[in-house]
Structure 1
Amino acid sequence: MGLLRFLLASLVLMSHLSIGFHGYNLGVMAVIVFYLLAGQVVVRLWARMRTLPNCIAVFARDRLLRILPQYFVGIGLSTLVWLYFGPSSEFLPLHPSVWDWLANLTVIPLNFFMYTGLTSFMLIPPAWSLGAELQFYLLTPMLFSWGTCRLGLIFLGSFAVFLLAQTGTLHTDYYGYRLLPGILFIFLLGSALAEQSPLHPQNSRHWAGLCVAWVVMGFYALALLVTRDHQPFRLEVALGLVVGLPLILMLQKKTSPRPWLKLLNRRAGELSFGIFLYHFPVIWTLESLGQPHTGLAAFPSVMVFSTLLAAAGHWCVERPLWRYLRPRVLV
């Protein structure tokens, strides 16, 4: 899945350079596929850890070690750029409050920005999606300790919130893309692709039901495309689900016998999280230096520098920490 993660991170980067497709945001599709991947990975991880002593603490520690080391590097880079260059960005005011700093450091409040006003100070703007992801991780031990019936009701409840967002009864962007009540079912859909999940289809009838739901979502996306609907972000979310589900299912069953391709896949996956985190400090630096920082003209430089920072963050920060801390988690 490493190459897929690299592609998704690149699409998020492109979206923040204002590179889209006929007015649609490809970065939103990428975030939806990231949600699906998170659900798939976490249910496998929890299935392996749930029998360990203090399994909840072990699981939480592993997830924090996966996210926070490079995240704090990204926070440090953005802070340095903000203090030294003072870029003109809606995300970087002159006088952030203590609450602004705490929210950025703790991550979880970031996807509540529409209610807290945190858009005025976000050192890593796309990290709001990490807030949603961490909230899902907090619920994981409880969710996947329940039976299929109760978990299915949770899934249907979240999907109902999503449908209300699609009709405009609830805010379409907030509850159809950003807040956990309306997107929890996407994480659970991703988990259903793993055999360890209570939601994994057990027979042909269950697979048929999943296929029917996928086809319905496909027709919904087609209808939005035909009507040229631009209400954020209905089409992008639907396409993320339509494309992401079969793509992940296909990739998890496909293994390459070629060692070089396995290595490339692994290295691409190692770089993806850093690219996701570091591209905004790069964009702000280029802007401050008077270089192209939006559009296709900026893509090569932003991509190259973000990739170099991602490699440095992984090999100089993440790897050393994992060597001493994470192996003890993954006993």
Structure 2
Amino acid sequence: MSRRPALDGLRAFAVLAVMAFHTSPAAHGGFLGVDVFFVISGYLITALLLREWSRSGGVDLKAFYVKRALRLLPPLLFMLAVSLPFVFTWARDQLTLNPVIAIASVLLYVANWANVWVNEGTGIWTHTWSLSIEEQFYLIWPLVLIGVLARRKKAPAAGLVVLIALVVLARWVGVANSDSFLWIYYATTSHCDGLLLGSLLAVLLNRRDSLARSGRQSEIVAWAGVFGLAALFATSHIETSDTYEWRLPMAALFATMIVHHLATRKQGPMVDLLSLRPFVAVGMVSYGLYLYHFPVFMTVQSRHYPHLEQHALEITLTLALTVFSWFVVEKPALRLKDRLAGAPVAPVTVTVALPGPATVEAGPAGMAASAQALAAPIIGYAPPGGVGGPRV
């Protein structure tokens, strides 16, 4: 799967929207950037798995999970180490869970459920709820996908449509029967439709060559997605019920329209724009920006600096941590991951038991080197001083 710089450019706009949301009331719709990340991640992870299955007749799950760990864990551990002193000093009032439990929930990727259990109890780590949803997806979806492929030789498009409908329905039911949107927003069962839509896009592109050979109409559809997202960003508020009734799925749908175009076209106005070096550079370090901006922003805001000084500190400290992490923490781990991708893989079989006589055997082939293009987990967000909805 060839690298698509324009997808990095799309990540850049998504993370900048979320960062703006966390520091400026004017960016009240920026939280929807998370759902853009969900779509990108769902598409890339599924496309990679399908490509490996087509190439080798199996999926090396051991290599898959090792490489995901090398990509995700080193900067996450660094973020926890850097922010831990502030949990016991300036930002101590934000953490309402026991610190050991909070750290465990982050490291075990169940922070979203911890934030449902105790109202946003993980404090300056609350943003890791979205990493948790994505990691849960990484854990479960490959097993489901190879199980279906082993039985039917065809990826489950219809099943994905049903799951998306159930997730949207779960939000509708939650809005109608609850005064709090907390669990609706953080629960995996009611906020994973973006991941599923991205996966559905990958499945359909894998099945139908006509969808992959998009022409001028793809550019038109993609720009419609851009304007649709822009309208949602300008008018959405995280604490209103219509966000959960229809704005979240519409944001994911518009993002899917854009990702389809960027994944199938190598040139054109939108591809060229999003492939500009500044956007690609921001997109490439977007995982670091995800991780570090929220603890920095929340800690700085707790000191009640004047607005100009606050924003200067937020941006400067976040950029410093992100650049340091990229060169000292992430790039060494990525080099190791790439060596694993290029090295011969010893035969490893992962067998998944299924009802009936069928089993799934993951073959020995490793991931392609282009796995580096996989989306990093997405971020969380919080309205500064927001009322009525999830803070992050």
TM over 0.5, shorter chain: yes
Tell me the SS of whatever aligns to 2:240.
coil
Q: Which runs of 5+ in 1 are unaligned?
A: none
What is the Cα deviation at residue 104 of structure 1?
Answer: 2.2
The 2-side partners of 1:20 and 1:179 are apart by 27
The 2-side partners of 1:44 and 1:312 are apart by 31
TM-score, structure 2 as length reference: 0.66
Alpha-carbon spacing, 1:160–1:48, altered in 2? closer, same or farther (3 Å): closer
TM-score, structure 1 as length reference: 0.77
Match of 1:276 in 2: 290
What is the Cα deviation at residue 128 of structure 1?
Answer: 0.2
Match of 2:91 in 1: 87
| Aligned match for 1:163, one of 155, 164, 169 | 169
What is the Cα deviation at residue 115 of structure 1?
Answer: 4.2
Pairing 1:72–2:77 present:
yes
Match of 1:128 in 2: 129
Alpha-carbon spacing, 1:134–1:233, altered in 2? closer, same or farther (3 Å): same
Instruction: Report percent identity of matched pairs.
Output: 21
The 2-side partners of 1:44 and 1:10 are apart by 26
The 2-side partners of 1:292 and 1:154 are apart by 48
Match of 2:316 in 1: 304
Tell me the SS of whatever aligns to 1:119.
coil
Q: How does 1:190-229 map to 2 (within 5 A)?
A: 190-194=198-202, 197=203, 202=208
What is the Cα deviation at residue 116 of structure 1?
Answer: 2.6
Q: How does 1:53-68 map to 2 (within 5 A)?
A: 55-68=60-73
1 or 2 for the larger relative contact order (CA 8 Å, sep ≥6)?
2
The 2-side partners of 1:177 and 1:229 are apart by 10
What is the Cα deviation at residue 52 of structure 1?
Answer: 8.2
Alpha-carbon spacing, 1:230–1:113, altered in 2? closer, same or farther (3 Å): same
> For the Cα contact (< 8 Å) 2:160–2:200, is it kept in 1?
no
The 1-side partners of 2:321 and 2:20 are apart by 17
Q: How does 1:11-90 map to 2 (within 5 A)?
A: 11-21=17-27, 24-27=28-31, 29-50=32-53, 51=56, 55-83=60-88, 85-87=89-91, 89-90=93-94
Pairing 1:248–2:259 present:
yes
Q: Which runs of 5+ in 2 are unaligned?
A: 1-6, 215-220, 342-366, 369-392
Match of 2:300 in 1: 286
Q: How does 1:98-113 map to 2 (within 5 A)?
A: 98-106=100-108, 108-113=109-114
> For the Cα contact (< 8 Å) 2:12–2:286, is it kept in 1?
yes
Pairing 1:179–2:187 present:
yes
Alpha-carbon spacing, 1:274–1:30, altered in 2? closer, same or farther (3 Å): same
What is the Cα deviation at residue 245 of structure 1?
Answer: 1.9
Aligned length: 307
What is the Cα deviation at residue 301 of structure 1?
Answer: 3.7
